[in-house]
């Protein structure tokens, strides 16, 4: 049996908030920094999404459909594509139409709802599913939660929503001596198969590729192929941000050429094949159940949820936001749901992270605020306005 390579790319852009001051509360309910969102989206489309889609499309065609990848696209990024760069949607659609690209399910707003509000989680997953059907004409069967957040409990919910496959992190503290290079199943829900990210080989591309101080630099497709072959399991799961290609790692680093060369080289070897996540779990049996009582993720050294909920600022903001779900359900107003969803994007909490010392570099790169405190103040000002709107709507309804 050939060893499977499963490539999956996360595509997401947050809906960044404008500078929202105390004086705006109760007066101005436009929360978003449209200019920044448009500028960044257009830049990333030009540097990454469009050229990289082209690279992948050519690789699929050149290899006669044997090269396969998977994407997850958040509702937040799709809304921005729609608004600022619709040509990106066309180019993803073209990829999906090859039949070699799988689109995964997730929460529409790239949110942390799975950690606190099962009904809201379900709502967002179904909203995302509708969106994927509408835009791409396919129904997702594999699921990846925001930032690969997973626990036994979340796995059970995902299975109940109709997914057979779920992606998560091969976190060292969970795996122990076990290898991430096999298929596992969810504890308690044996029919939900788990694919675990090989963080070593994934991060070689997404983090280390362009680092001249890395002892393996420069990384060639030939060298990398050797590592893939040396991996001892049945499947190697390479999961990463799609923005790795051309945005986080600039095109000058040769990262696109690397991805251009890799598929043909790997297929020519004979012992490797590319699979999508749903194919992977059809092809490989689960070797064991994986017990994950506490939520894990692919973020930071801790591989837990502390990047979003690690300090009291994040927890208070998170609880205040989700404290509104009951009222929102009563109102069921699409405009309010929309703003709630955008405020639920995990990125806003990420900006409030105070873990500066171990993973500060990564956090700073993604953060539009100078300090986590500024991020918190701005977010709470916006949220305060939103709470006023919700309460007024409730009062009107009664």
Partner 1 sequence: MFGWEFPPHIAGGLGTACEGIVKGLAHNGVETLFVMPSASGDEDQSATTILNASDVAVAYASDTVDEFLDKVKFLQVDSSIVPYVDPEEYFEAIEKMKKEQVHETTVGFGQKFKFSGKYGANLLEEVSRYAQVGGTIAMQHADEFDLIHAHDWLTYLAGIAAKELTGKPLVVHVHATSFDRGSEDMIDTRVFAIEKRGMEAADRVVTVSDLTRSIVINKYGIDPAKVVTVHNAVDFSGRENISVERGVHEKVVTFLGRITFQKGPEYFIEAAAKVLKRTKNVRFVMAGSGDMMNRAIRQVARLGISDRFHFTGFLRGADVQKMFALSDVYIMPSVSEPFGISPLEAMRSNVPSIISKQSGAAEVLKYALKVDFWDVDALADDIYALIQYPALASFAEKEGYDEVNNLKWNNATAKLKKVYESLL
Active site residues: 147
Closest C-alpha to 255, from 266, 245, 240 = 245
Cβ neighbours for 197, distance < 8 A, ≥ 6 positions apart: 148, 167, 168, 169, 170, 180, 237, 238, 239, 298
Q: Select the residue interacting with partner 1 from 257, 301, 312, 326 (CB under 8 A).
A: 312
Single residue of 26, 99, 293, 360 touching partner 1 by CB under 8 A: 26
Cβ 321 to partner 1 shortest distance, Å: 9
154 or 313: whose CB is closer to partner 1? 313
- Using the rule CB under 8 A, give the single segment among 34-42, 283-291, 329-337, 367-375 that binds partner 1: 367-375
Q: Among 23, 177, 357, 365, indicate the residue that binds partner 1 (CB under 8 A).
A: 23
CA–CA distance, 348 with 106 (Å, rounded to integer): 18
Asked if 304 and 294 count as a contact pair (C-beta separation under 8 A), the reply is yes
Contact status: 309 vs partner 1 (CB under 8 A): no
Shortest distance, CB of residue 311 to partner 1, whole angstroms? 8
Cα(110)–Cα(299) distance, integer angstroms: 14
CB of 386 to partner 1, least distance (A): 10
User: What residues between 93 and 132 interact with partner 1 by CB under 8 A?
Assistant: none
By CB under 8 A, is residue 214 in contact with partner 1? no
3-state secondary structure 85-154: CHHHHHHHHHHHHCCCEEECECCCCCECHHHCCHHHHHHHHHHHHHHHHHHHCCCCCEEECHHHCECHHH
Considering only residues 231, 366, 384, 389, which one is a binding residue for partner 1 as defined by CB under 8 A? 384
Cβ-based neighbour number of residue 273 at 10 Å: 20
What is the signed CA dihedral for 281, 282, 285, 288, rounded to 10 degrees?
Answer: 30
Which x/- pattern over 165-194 shows residues binding partner 1 (rule: CB under 8 A)?
------------------------------
Question: To the nearest whole angstrom, how small is the minimum distance from the Cβ of residue 31 to partner 1?
Answer: 14
Question: 160 vs 316, which CB is nearer to partner 1?
Answer: 316
Token pair in block for residue 359:
């993973």
Chain centroid, CA 68 distance in Å: 18
At closest approach, how far in Å is the CB of 140 from partner 1?
Answer: 35
- Out of 109, 143, 350, 376, name the contact with partner 1 by CB under 8 A: 376
Of 319, 335, 364, 394, the one binding partner 1 (CB under 8 A) is 319
Angstrom distances, CA of residue 374 to CA of 22, 26, 33, 39, 140: 13, 20, 15, 22, 38
Interface with partner 1, residue 380, by CB under 8 A: yes
CB of 281 to partner 1, least distance (A): 41
Query: By the 8 A CB rule, do 150 and 187 touch?
Result: no
Q: Least separation, in Å, of the C-beta of 216 and partner 1?
A: 35
388 lies in the binding site for partner 1 (CB under 8 A): yes
Q: List Cα–Cα distances, 152 to 159, 198, 202, 263, 291, in angstroms.
A: 11, 20, 24, 34, 7
Nearer to partner 1 by Cβ, of 192 and 380: the residue is 380
Query: In the complex with partner 1, which residue's Cβ is closer, 167 or 353?
Result: 353
- Of 27, 134, 252, 357, which lies in the binding site for partner 1, with binding defined by CB under 8 A? 27
Yes or no: say if 146 and 318 are a contact pair by the CB < 8 Å rule: no
Distances (CA, A) of 206 to 181, 199, 219, 286: 18, 10, 12, 27
Instruction: Name the one range near partner 1 by CB under 8 A: 148-156, 188-196, 257-265, 305-313.
Output: 305-313
- Beta-carbon contacts of 173 under 8 Å, excluding residues fewer than 6 positions away, are 296, 303
| Residue 199 touching partner 1 (CB under 8 A) | no
Least distance in angstroms from the C-beta of 395 to partner 1: 11
Choose one: 120-128, 184-192, 325-333, 379-387; the region binding partner 1 (CB under 8 A): 379-387
State the distance between the two ends of the chain, measured CA to CA, in whole angstroms. 65
Residue 356 interacts with partner 1 (CB under 8 A)?
A: no
Residues in contact with partner 1 by CB under 8 A are: 21-28, 311-313, 315-317, 319-320, 371, 373-374, 376-377, 380-381, 383-385, 387-388
């Amino acid at each position: 049996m050939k060893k499977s390579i499963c490539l999956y790319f996360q595509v997401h852009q947050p809906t960044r908030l404008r500078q929202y001051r105390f004086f705006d509360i109760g007066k101005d309910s436009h929360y978003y920094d449209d200019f920044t969102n448009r500028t960044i989206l257009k830049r990333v489309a030009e540097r990454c999404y469009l050229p990289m889609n082209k690279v992948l499309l050519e690789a699929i065609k050149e290899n006669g459909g044997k090269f396969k990848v998977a994407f997850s696209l958040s509702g937040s990024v799709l809304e921005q594509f729609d608004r600022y760069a619709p040509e990106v949607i066309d180019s993803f659609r073209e990829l999906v139409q090859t039949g070699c690209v799988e689109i995964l399910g997730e929460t529409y707003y790239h949110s942390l709802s799975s950690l606190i509000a099962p009904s809201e989680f379900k709502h967002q997953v179904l909203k995302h599913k509708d969106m994927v059907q509408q835009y791409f004409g396919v129904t997702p069967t594999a699921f990846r939660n925001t930032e690969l957040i997973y626990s036994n409990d979340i796995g059970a919910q995902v299975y109940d929503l109709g997914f057979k496959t779920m992606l998560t992190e091969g976190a060292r503290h969970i795996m122990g001596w076990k290898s991430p290079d096999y298929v596992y199943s969810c504890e308690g829900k044996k029919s939900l198969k788990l694919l675990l990210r090989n963080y070593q080989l994934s991060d070689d591309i997404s983090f280390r590729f362009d680092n001249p101080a890395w002892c393996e630099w420069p990384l060639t497709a030939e060298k990398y192929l050797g590592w893939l072959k040396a991996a001892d399991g049945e499947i190697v799961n390479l999961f990463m941000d799609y923005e790795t290609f051309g945005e986080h790692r600039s095109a000058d680093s040769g990262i696109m050429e690397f991805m251009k060369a890799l598929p043909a080289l790997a297929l020519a070897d004979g012992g490797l094949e590319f699979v999508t996540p749903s194919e992977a779990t059809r092809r490989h049996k689960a070797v064991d159940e994986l017990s994950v009582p506490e939520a894990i993720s692919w973020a930071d050294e801790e591989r837990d949820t502390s990047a979003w909920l690690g300090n009291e600022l994040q927890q208070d903001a998170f609880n205040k936001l989700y404290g509104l779900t009951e009222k929102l359900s009563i109102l069921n107003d699409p405009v309010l749901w929309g703003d709630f969803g955008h405020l639920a994007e995990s990125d806003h909490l990420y900006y409030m992270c105070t873990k500066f010392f171990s993973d500060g570099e990564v956090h700073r790169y993604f953060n539009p605020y100078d300090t986590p405190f500024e991020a918190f103040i701005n977010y709470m000002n916006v949220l305060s306005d939103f709470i006023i709107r919700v309460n007024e709507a409730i009062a009107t309804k009664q």
